[in-house]
Structures are given as structure tokens and as C-alpha cells.
A and B are shown apart, each in its own frame.
Chain A
Amino acid sequence: MVTNFQSHYIPNTIAEQDELLSAVGLSSVDDLFADIPDDYRNPPLRLPDPMSELEIQRELGAMAGRNRPLASGPSFLGAGSYYHFIPSIVKAVMTRGEFLTAYTPYQPEVSQGTLQVIFEFQTMISSLYGMEVANAGMYDGATSLAEAVLMACRVTRRQQVVVSDTVAPAYRQVIATYCQAQGVAIDIVPTADIGASVTEATAGVVAQYPNFYGGLDDLAGLAATAHDDGALLVVSADPLAMGMLKPPGGFGADIVTGEGQPIGIPPSFGGPYLGLFSCKQQYIRQMPSRLVGRTTDTQGRTGYVLTLQTREQHIRRERATSNICTNEALYALASTIYLAAMGRHGLRQVAELCYHKAHYAASAIAGLDGYSLPQSGEFFQEFVVGCPEAPAKVNRRLMERNILGGLDVSDRFENGMLLCVTEMNSREDIDLLVDALRAEK
């Protein structure tokens, strides 16, 4: 079969195809596929016809139009994906073809741009988390934490972990998926009971900071508990909150992971995101994923290379520390540009804006009849509200006013709704939310 459709993505014309075919001594494109058994060759392919770019813009634009973007009205949904400001330079720089259309930097001589960016990224992520080293990134926050659990098991040669029940439910599920064939036992317990659950068989204690319900757990206490029995403390931490909060490294955490989405990556219906992964220097040979190191070239000039690759699947195969290959390099770049632009003062200012606005909202809602704050203690930008009726109902009526409410957490708190307030929410947005909730009761 000769294909007569001339796509704008494929230069060869029919005449050029014929020229190439005669050079290889064949008479048709179909001859190239003679190794495919006859009965299986050229099956029907039931797909739509090609479209022009103009038609694509219209059709896909209409599909996009059937979704409600966060920017179209006040939005208070967080729970693992956060709506934050992204400076315009992030997209402008990351979509340069030299970054966007490069492969993994296996040829360092022609990949110094990507490699140096990753080195900057490793520096900034380890600084944010107060850790000694960070890798080049993982898929997302959930898989990063799951890989940290497996790494804690390798480091300690133990096969049991204690996970706080304030770790995001989705993260706990992904840990279970990653561990299902590894013989790792997972105990999920309230944070207060972790001390009683850790034994000399425990590889790691796993917590989230701020936790899924917004609160700040006692990481220093968890570190002491874990270390007393020779276990590691593994923490998944929001990198944006690190603009003001003391980082897990400062409390003695051994592995700190996180979801990089809040620092420069749009919510995009859940992906692509960016897994952050950092640890103490002594564990680097047990780390998953790529690492970039500094070195020199034959003329003594500084350069960067992928390093410690003997941990990885393309060298070590079934004995690798992980199967991960492609990660999320482009979004590591996005986060690096974001952090460079925000800088030491900007990141702190954004974190504090989130903190103050969330506290303003929480105290206003707590003052409404029928609403309560079921948790006490410090929190960052998220908090649970006890509603007078089912959160699903409250959310439906909020949406009648074009306000996107919080996540339904009534499985854990009676009529509980997890609200998130960031720098994107103006005082007017928050007052609209409070008015709407008042009208609900």
C-alpha cells in the first residue's frame, strides 16, 4: 500500500518516496513490511480522517471550553494540586525548542544547557528541603514518596514501614501499589500512634508536611521516634511552604520528597507534575533516578554530566535502584526558573501571603453559625471546615455562585471540607466564599 496523504509533518513527497524506494531496491512502501505475517499485515485502522490546524483549533478549543478553569472564578480546591501564580517568563523560557525538543542529556558535550539547569535544580531543591543532595526529579509527588519507601527498605534492609494516616490518601495508595510485589508491610496509623508502632523491624516512618489536612505535625518527635529504632524518617513536603517553614531536613528527616507542581507548574488536570527527591549524602548510592554532577572537560573547563549511573536501569538492569528512565526534566526546568525568579524574598512573600489569607478565611468561617474548625494547631494554607450539611451539597450551591469549594473529606471529619487559600485568592474572593457559606446554613 502506498500512502498518498501528504501530511505537513512529513516532508517526503510521493516522488521522493519513489526515489528512496529505488535506492533500497524495492518497488513499494508495503514491501518494507514483508516480515509481518500476511494475515496480520495492514489491518483496518478505524481512526478519524486527518484535520487541518484550523479545524483542530476549533474542535480542541471547544473541548477545552467545556471545562471550568480555576481562573474563571474564586477557587478554593487544593488537596495535592495547587493554584499559584506563575511568572510569564517560566513558559516563555521553558518552551524554547532547545529545551523542549532535546532528549535526555546522554551526550554531555551537546547538552550542557539541560545539565546545568538540573545542577541548579538539585541545588535549589536540596536547599529548600534542608537536605544535602537532591536528584534530577521523579514523575510526581506520589511516586516520589513510594520510591522513598522502597529506598528506606534498601538502606535499612528492613521490610516494614509506618505511614501516618495524614499522608494524602492517593499517596498511600500509590505506596501500596509500588510495594505490592516487594513484600513490604505497610502500617497506616494516626500520627499520635506512630511511636507505639515503630519497632526494630521498621524501615521508615512516613509523614507529610504540611499534612494532607493542612496541619503541621511534630517532625522532630517523629525523627527521634524513627531514629531510636534505626528507622529513617521519610517526609513528603510542599516546596512552596518551605518559603517560610523550617524544612524537614532541619528536623532530622533522612529522605524528603515532594510534589513540585506548586513551584511553577500549572494544575493541568493532574499532570505533568514533578517529583522532588532529596536525602542525606550518605544514601546517594541508593537513590533512584538521574543525578547530575560537576566535572571538567579535557581542557579543564567546568562541565556537567549524568553521574552515578551504575545505580540506574540502563547499566544495572534488574539490580537497579529503580526502573525509572524518562522523568520530568522540562518541569524541573520550570521549577528552576520559578525559584530563580522568586528568589529568597519572593518565595517567602508568597508563602506568607498564602498563610495569612488562609488564616483570615479560616477565622471568618469559624465565626459562622453551623461551621467549625475540627482541627486545632498550626496550619499553612489548608484547613478542614465542618459544614452544617454534606460538603457535596455545599459545593453544588457554591458553584451556583461560580465558587469552586474544597475537597469532601467527610470520610474523616463529620461534614468535613478541606479548603485551600493561596495568593491567587483576593480578599474579595474570600469574602464572597464566606458570604456564600453564611447563606448556606
Chain B
Amino acid sequence: MLNKGGNRDTTRLLMDRSVPGRVGVVTPGLDVPAAPLPDAAYLRDDLPLPEVSEPEVVQYFTSLSQLNFSIDTHFYPLGSCTMKYNPKINDEIAFLPGFAGIHPQQPAEQSQGALELLYRLQDFLTEVTGMAATSLATLAGAHGELGGVLMMRAYHLARGDSGRTKMGIPDSAHGTNPASAAMAGFDVVTIPSDADGNTDLAALREIAGDDLAGVMITLPSTLGLFDTNILEVCQIVHDCGGLVYGDGANMNALLGRAKLGELGFDVCHLNLHKTFSTPHGGGGPGAGPVCCGENLAPYLAAPVVAVNDDGEYSLVEPEQSIGKISGFHGNFGVLVRAYTYIRTLGAAGLLSISGNAVLNANYIMESLKDIYELPYDRTCMHEVVFSADRQRERGVSGLEVAKRLLDYGFHAPTMYFPLIVHEALMIEPTESETKETLDAFIDALRIIDSEATTEPELVQHAPHTTPVSRLDEATAARRPVLRWEAAAD
């Protein structure tokens, strides 16, 4: 059979490409006398890595990259993920030798530029959230959540208030919220949403007591809505002695429009890989800084950057810190990108982000709500959540609608989340898309709705044009194959 594309074809894995004697890197010679090797008990006899030349490595990985959808190649309206344009200058700055080439433990006098950048970023994020202090040590959104809820725990324990074992979490929350609360030792209590998609205040009052450590609220919610009960939510929680955590995943909607600290939140995290445009990289790295009010500042994860009267920056551990939560000082390369982004855009740019992100989402909502069910018909924030219930009646599920979008060259929206919306399709366009792209996407969703009537099987079996079709996930999970194995002869 013809091997289409030769070695550029991606079918064969690296170990199958390996040819004894091929070399991918020429290493320098040894310029010191060789020392005796350690006792053989410490040495390995085989190292099962491939032997491939440099051109093959570049060709293989480049061909693999072309199997992906990405922001640079496709509109990526994945709700709750804020897939906006990732500016190239941010990468260039992060790769400067003065940033990428410095060691985390070199003396502070040799890293003043890096420390100053971190200090200023702490200030920027504190200002954006209306809080009092920020730690940059947490490495992703969920990691920030863990840091934040551990701080809530430490705060209560420091006051001798050891009976607060419960964490209230809305039914629309990301899965990381309950998982983080559980890692911090809390029992999770679910808070329902009311008919308008806001927090159900009556339900909240029922759990508000002296055993409630606090609540974790995403604002705007994962329904893409600004919770108009938010002031009452904070009041009820504070009245019972609890604290309010803010999941900042959706901060793209609120930049310059409202500050969590002023609304009554005590602590929150931000996802720099969402709101502040650092690249997702196919699943990270992210960064999840934690910002908090005066009451929780002593508990922030270590280290934070401080400045002395002479203008010298240093890493310090907050007084009653929950401790170190990562190996060094946070995902510095990500923090450099976010700093560069904020510095580039300034206050006016951040306002333009939230304004245009929300405007684009509302435009999509208005343009499609006649044919896709809109469970909450209100002005939305940065994302809109539809239900594919009307298409379902014609035998086409939300998942199938989403998969069919791939054939039209658009990445799928987030599907079946939040859990409280049946057949949910969560669409987040972001501010960095053109009206032309939004219109084309709207057209595609209208066409797919017609196809659900005229050719439902076309939608049901989508996608048809992608490198692979629907994959058998059940078998993958039942008989897991998680690594390459040599073919049996």
C-alpha cells in the first residue's frame, strides 16, 4: 500500500520510526577526564527512546500540529474558556534571555527586573479585582481555587472557628470548585439556581449557619449571566460568618465594569490563560493568581513579592501563609505574558475587551434565539448558553450539532455544561473576532438547524471532514492502551 506522504504521514509513532544509528542531536565531546561510572547496580542497561534524525522530528511534529484546530487557524467559541487571540509579542517577551534564562534561586540582586515585573503584576491584578493583595504562586485556575479555599479554612481556624465544615457551591459551577473544596477538607453543599439563573436566595439562607465556611461563586455565572442577587448573596454569607470565594474564570466580561472586592467577595482567582490572553498550549500552562481582601491577605500562598524603602524587591512569605503551593514562584513565563498584555492594553484596552466580548456574545444570542432554545432570555455577559432541545425533537442532539460545526470549520462550543441546562451549547465568541466571522458562524448554526430537518443523519454522523471521525471512547476506557508497545511478531 502507498504510504501517502512518506514520513510526513503521522500514522506511525516515534518508536515505529526509529532506525538504529540515526541521530537527532550531536552532543559536544567530553572536555574533562572521565570519572569511573557508579556501581553497575545504579546504571540502566536499556533506554527505550527512539533513534530519529532532526528533519524527521520536525516533519513529524509539524504534520501532527496540522491535525489540530487552534485559535490561529479556527474560530474557537468554547464557552467558559475565553479562547481569544494570543498576542505574539507576549511570547517574544517571555522568551527574552533576561526572563527565560534566569534561575529561580539566584540572589534577588540578580533578578530585580523579574521581581519588579511580578510586583507590578500583583498590583495590576489587585486593582482589577478591587482586592487588597495578590499571590502569583498558583499555577492554574483549579490550583488557585485550592489556594483560595485553604486560605478560607486557615482564616476560620485562626479565629478558633473550627466548626465550619461546609462549602456552598451553585449547581452551575465548574467541576473544579467542588473538587477543590473537597481537597481543602470541606463537605460540599449544592446551591440551586432560581428561575432567572441567579443564586436561589431562599436555598442559600437555609444553608447559611455557623457550620458554613463560605460559598464559591462564579461571576458572571456559567450561564453567562450576571447574578443580580450578588449583593444579597454576599450579605447572607457574611451575616452567618462565612466568606465568599470568586471563581474568576469569566472575568473577561467584567474587566473595568465591576470589581469583585467591591461587590463583597473576600477572595478570588483569575485565569491568566483566559482573561489575560496567555496561550492555552493544548491544555496549559496556565496561571491562577489569588487576589483577596485585607482579612485574608495574611494567609496568601507563599511567596509574594515585596518592595523595601530603597526600591529593592524581594520574595517574602505572608505572616500566616497556607504555605508553599508550588515549587518556586509561580508560572513566571505566563505571568510575563499577562503583564505584557495588561501593559499593552492599559485601562482603556481592558474596558474595550469586556465591552466587545459582551457585545459579540449578545449579537450571537440575538441572531440565533429564534431557532435555538434560549433558557434564560436576558442580556447575557461574555457567553450565551443555548439548549438544543428543539433540534433534539428532530433527533439531533446538542453534541451532534457541535460536531457538525467542525465540518463548517468552526470549533465546537462547550457542550452539556452547565449541567442544569438540557442539551447545553455554551458559546463564547470573545472580543478578538470580527463581525464577518461571527456572521459566518451564525449562518453555519442556522444551516445545521435546517439540516436537522432535511438531512438529520448528516448531522448525526458528523464530523465528516476531520482527520478522524467519531472515536470509540467506550473501548478506550474499558481496555486502556496508554502507551506504545512493540508489535507482537
Contacts and interface: CB of A to CB of B under 8 A. Distances in A.
Interface residues on B, range: 35 or more
Contact of B231 (A37, A101, A316, A344): A37
Nearest to B279: A100
A99 B282 contact: yes
Overall SS of chain B's interface: loop
Nearest to A209: B42
Contacts of B27: 346, 349-350, 353, 423
B28 A423 contact: yes
Contacts of A348: 47
B183 A298 contact: no
A326 interface: yes
B141 A63 contact: no
A227 to B, nearest CB: 18
B96 A32 contact: no
Interface stretch (A151-159, A177-185, A188-196, A197-205): A177-185
A103 B283 contact: yes
Contacts of A302: 11
B43 A33 contact: no
A49 to B, nearest CB: 5
Contact of A293 (B146, B286, B412, B476): B476
B67 A116 contact: yes
Nearest to B353: A10
Contacts, number: 690
Contacts of A69: 97-98, 101-102
A111 B69 contact: yes
B326 A271 contact: yes
Contact of B482 (A124, A292, A331): A292
A60 B93 contact: yes
A80 B431 CA distance: 40
A305 B113 contact: no
B103 A267 contact: yes
B446 to A, nearest CB: 15
Contacts of A349: 27
Given A23-B367, A116-B67, A126 B353 contact: no
Interface in B37-93: 37-39, 41-45, 47-52, 54, 57-58, 60-62, 64-74, 76, 78, 81, 83-87, 89, 91-93
B257 A245 contact: no
Nearest to A99: B65
A120 B471 contact: no
B411 A266 contact: no
B343 interface: yes
Contacts of B327: 80, 140-143, 168, 170-171, 174, 259, 270-271, 273
A439 interface: no
Given A10-B431, A67-B112, A123 B66 contact: no
Given A11-B433, A307-B477, A308-B477, 4 more contacts: A41-B258, A45-B128, A66-B113, A293-B481
Given A23-B367, A56-B93, A140-B327, A327 B284 contact: yes
Interface string B123-149: 010011010000000011111011000
A116 B466 CA distance: 15
Given A69-B102, A170-B328, A247-B44, A93 B411 contact: no
B263 to A, nearest CB: 6
Contacts of A272: 139, 284-285, 331-334
Nearest to A56: B344
Given A107-B412, A353-B28, A56 B323 contact: no
Contacts of B331: 271-272
B222 to A, nearest CB: 12
Interface string B319-345: 000111111111111101000101111
Interface stretch (B237-245, B356-364, B386-394): B356-364
Interface string A77-111: 10111010001010111011111111111011111
Contact of A67 (B99, B228, B432): B99
A326 B283 contact: yes
Contacts of B25: 87, 341-343, 346
